[in-house]
Structure 1
Amino acid sequence: MIPEQHINFHVPQELNASVPPERRGVKRDHVKMMVLDRKTGKNTHDQFYNLDQHLNPGDLIVLNNSRTIPAVLSASLKRSFLTVDPKVEIRLAHRKGDNIWDVLIVSEKAKTGDILYFSDYLQAVIMPIDINKPLQTIVFPQNGHELLNSIYKLGEPVRYEYIHTPWNLDYYQTVYASYPGSIEMPSAGRAFTWELLFKLQKKGIRIAYLQLHTGLSYFLDDKWTMNPSENQEEYEIPESTMQSFLQTKAEGGRVIAVGTTVVRALETAVFNQNLKGWTNLYIHSDYKLKAADGIITGLHEPEASHLDMLSAFVNPRCLIRSYKDAILKNYLWHEFGDMNLII
């Protein structure tokens, strides 16, 4: 039985980071970092650039190198060559095949068989609509790199109400992102720079990568709430990463997952012995972690399912106490905010 979670607190509006650190005069890796001890529940405060001082030679850092795509598109809605709605917002949610996507259609006029006209070179047909679900399926005539190139030309990155400026897509990428597919940035890795990664390697800390393509987490209407176990995301773990993982475990090192996406991918792979596939794993306080010994993550909203996962690493009471301390010390929340190391 999955326990009810009661992780609640209030984040003042001014602590919602609406501006990337670089535009605040702060280097990516010089944001604040709260370090939370899994055993004692106590926290200390540092800068992310000093991450190497909290890790040991032989530890392994696993990063998600999925690249964020500009998933918000604008289309006209056409039916039998007539325009039904001249401007409809489409948010890509999950890639289901080379040319098949589940999407959020921000219009009540859409019907099965309608054509979404994005541009002269990109259209899509709406498959049978299910009014009881927030997401609908569309099919593009293009696929693969051709489709991705069109999306990159036309789309904008997903941004939520606390971000007031339409920042360029580059601000929503990690420096090592290389496999396009994430709808929302795997933001736990945003604070890493190549300089910091080299510093970690120089100390003898291993670095490895996997891919988990994040989906759309909010459907713009509070009536649509997604149970964490309904959140299906595609992942792939290279054989070399799994070998580094096994070697680290065998030698007594710690596996540090960068982000909840990496935790989900690793724990899923260890459980089902598959290095690629889809995961809907929901990790909570009663879940016994098998792969990850620590996590690097941002600061999450009250009652978010990400906090349920963090409760698998550390006692929820200690987590709440630390979050309240972070609020007092003016830590910033969300993808452009500060960091949390739980180890």
Structure 2
Amino acid sequence: MQPQRTRDFTVADFDFTLPDELIAQHPAAERSASRLLDGRSDEAPVDRIFRELPSLLNPGDLLVFNDTQVVKARLFGEKASGGKLELLIERVLLPHEALDGSANEVVGHIRVSKKPQPGGLLHMVGGLKGGGFDATFLGRWPDAQGQLFRLRLQGPGTETPYDLMAQHGHVPLPPYITHADDADDERRYQTVFARVPGAVAAPTASLHFDEGVLAALKARGVETASVTLHVGAGTFAPMKTEQISEHVMHHERYAMPPETVQAIAACQARGGRVVAVGTTTVRTLETWARNSETQGDTNIFITPGFRFEVVDLLVTNFHLPKSTLMMLVSAFAGYERVMDLYRHAVASRYRFFSYGDAMLLQRQPPSTQRCS
């Protein structure tokens, strides 16, 4: 493959036309029955089924998953005045981050006609199991975008914030999915290997994996490892400027287990390829490659011109127009290549976004692309 040619990009370069009917509202009947667009080579892309993925990898390759677990982070309630509100919990604060050193504080987005005053009491109504709990509004959280607020949750017993979300919350489906969450979403908007609670959006490329595909990977001699990145609602936030360099990325909490660090070193030593499942895994691996920190927060912004240090292949879903994730996959596989693949996907009626189909991409050589 030839290096990508030099050009300057703006947000508008990452736009494309997508018919509404191609936005998947429900998952495929079977996880691995989704389509897979094989876009690894410079030749015409190949239309496949996702369960073919193991045959496209080599013995000794390493597949890295994000094992975050989606929590039921969408809650509904009211202020003391009776005004209705919606709360989307972005993260549960660690004790050292909380004002009172407890494990009961959270930060999140609040949709309400008028923001409550600090100290104001909110009542979150019960879910299907009835009841409810109270939350104290503590004021603004000092995030870069100024869109998050701090709250202290007060359950009727000794429940943790995760307990309260599990009892009273709703699956935080993306804004482009128009139906209310149901039992099927609770099962399918979650990976089969979800382990660490904390995400408000699924690592969607991993939704296609089922026990059959995992068994086939093992039989093929493909090794697996995991990282954790708790996907935040900022993954759906639109770009607010045409100048890419002016965009401020949201922060997400990540962890890189020592076993995964060792697995990557062993894979590279034997000449295998590191295959990232999803853009969240890419962001975790490339953050670690740059700062050598195995846990913390990342707001890494990957745009054309970025030099990848770890990831060789990428399994990913199709992303929103003009999004930071479109920029990431374009940086990885090449802008012209990615836009060609998206045109093919639209013409071939692939299903888009979280419940949609997947694609397999190969890293392009470093380029001199840049974003303005």
When normalised by structure 2's length, the TM-score is 0.83
- Residue among 134, 141, 165 paired with 2:147: 134
Which 10-residue stretch deviates more, 293-302 or 128-137?
Answer: 128-137
3-state SS of 2:160 partner: helix
**d(CA) in 1 for partners of 2:141 and 2:259?**
41
User: Whole-Å Cα distance in 2 between the matches of residues 238 and 334 of structure 1?
Assistant: 29
Q: Could you tell me which residue of structure 2 aligns to residue 81 of structure 1?
A: none
| Contact 1:63/1:209, CA 8 A, preserved across alignment | yes
> Aligned pair in 2 of structure 1 residues 145, 177: CA closer, same or farther (>3 Å)?
farther
What does residue 33 of structure 1 align with? 36
Paired residues of 1:229 and 1:281 also in contact (CA < 8 A): no
SS of corresponding position for 2:110: strand
One-letter amino acid matched to 1:193 = D
How far off its partner does 1:342 sit? 0.5
- Equivalent of 2:89 in 84, 89, 92: 92
How many Å separate the matches in 2 of 1:73 and 1:112?
19
Find the aligned partners of 1:252 and 1:221 in 2 and give their Cα distance: 39
Q: Among all aligned residue pairs of Structure 1 and Structure 2, give the percentage whose two residues are the same amino acid.
A: 26
Deviation at 1:281, TM superposition (A): 0.3
Measured after TM superposition, the shift of residue 46 of structure 1 is 0.4
Aligned residue type for 2:135: A
Say if 1:341 and 1:218 are closer, same or farther in 2 by CA, change over 3 A.
closer
CA contact (8 A) 1:283 1:312 kept: yes
Which residue of structure 1 aligns with residue 25 of structure 2?
A: 18
Matched, 1:296 2:291: no
Q: Identify which of 81, 106, 115 aligns with 2:111.
A: 106
* Contact 1:32 1:338 (C-alpha < 8 Å) held by counterparts: yes
- 1:134 maps to a residue whose letter is Q
Answer whether contact 1:258 1:296 (CA < 8 A) is retained.
yes
When the two chains are superposed, the root-mean-square deviation of aligned CA atoms in Å is 2.6
| TM-score, L = length of structure 1 | 0.89
Deviation at 1:144, TM superposition (A): 9.4
Partner SS state of residue 312, structure 1: helix
CA distance in 2, matches of 1:20, 1:289: 31
CA shift, 1:229, in A, is 4.0
SS of alignment partner, residue 234 of structure 2: coil
Moved over 3 A (4+): 129-132, 141-145, 218-229
Task: Measure the CA separation in 2 of the matches of 1:100 and 1:278.
Answer: 18
Closer, same or farther: CA 275–309 of 1 in aligned 2, 3 Å: same
Alignment deviations for residues 65-100 of structure 1 (CA, whole Å, 9 cap, x no partner): 11101111012212xxxxx13431111123333322
Q: Indicate if the aligned counterparts of 1:104 and 1:219 stay in contact, CA closer than 8 A.
A: no
Structure 1, unaligned runs of 5 or more: 79-83
Equivalent residue in structure 1 for 2:228, among 211, 219, 224: 211
The answer on 1:183 being equivalent to 2:200 is yes
Partner Cα separation in structure 1 for residue 15 and residue 176 of structure 2: 20
Deviation at 1:204, TM superposition (A): 0.6
Distance 1:223 1:101, change over 3 A: farther
Q: Is the 8 A contact 2:287 2:300 kept in 1?
A: yes
Give the Å deviation of 1:238. 1.1
How far is 1:167 from its partner? 2.9
How far apart are the structure 1 equivalents of 2:71 and 2:213?
A: 25
Local SS of the residue matching 1:217: helix
CA deviations over 1:117-142 (Å, ceiling 9, x no partner): 12566322111248983221112246
State the Cα distance separating 1:36 from its structure 2 match. 1.1
- Relative to structure 1, the CA distance from residue 308 to residue 161 in structure 2 (aligned partners, 3 Å threshold; closer, same or farther) is closer
How far is the alpha carbon of 1:310 from its aligned partner? 0.5
**CA distance in structure 2 between the aligned counterparts of 1:42 and 1:18, rounded to whole angstroms:** 28
Q: State the match for 2:367 in structure 1.
A: none
CA contact (8 A) 1:134 1:224 kept: no
Is the 8 Å Cα contact of residues 285 and 309 (structure 1) preserved in structure 2?
A: yes
Q: Confirm whether residue 154 of structure 1 aligns to residue 154 of structure 2.
A: no
* Alignment-derived partner of residue 75 in structure 2: 73
CA distance in structure 1 between the aligned counterparts of 2:117 and 2:353, rounded to whole angstroms: 35
- 1:335 maps to 2:338: no
**1:45/1:147 CA distance change after superposition, 3 Å:** same
Cα displacement (A) at 1:163: 3.0
Q: Structure 1 pair 111/146, CA: closer, same or farther in 2 (3 Å)?
A: same
Please state how far the C-alpha of 1:197 moved relative to its aligned partner: 0.6
1:43 maps onto 2:38 in alignment: no
Match among 190, 195, 205 for residue 173 of structure 1: 190
Cα distance 1:218–1:298, how it changes in 2: closer, same or farther (>3 A)?
closer
**How far apart, in 2, do the equivalents of 1:43 and 1:112 lie?**
55
Structure 1 283/222 Cα, relative in aligned 2: closer, same or farther at 3 Å?
A: closer
Deviation at 1:272, TM superposition (A): 0.6
**Deviation string for 1:7-31 (max 9, x for gaps)?**
2211101100001212xxxx11011
Question: How far apart, in 2, do the equivalents of 1:73 and 1:305 lie?
Answer: 27
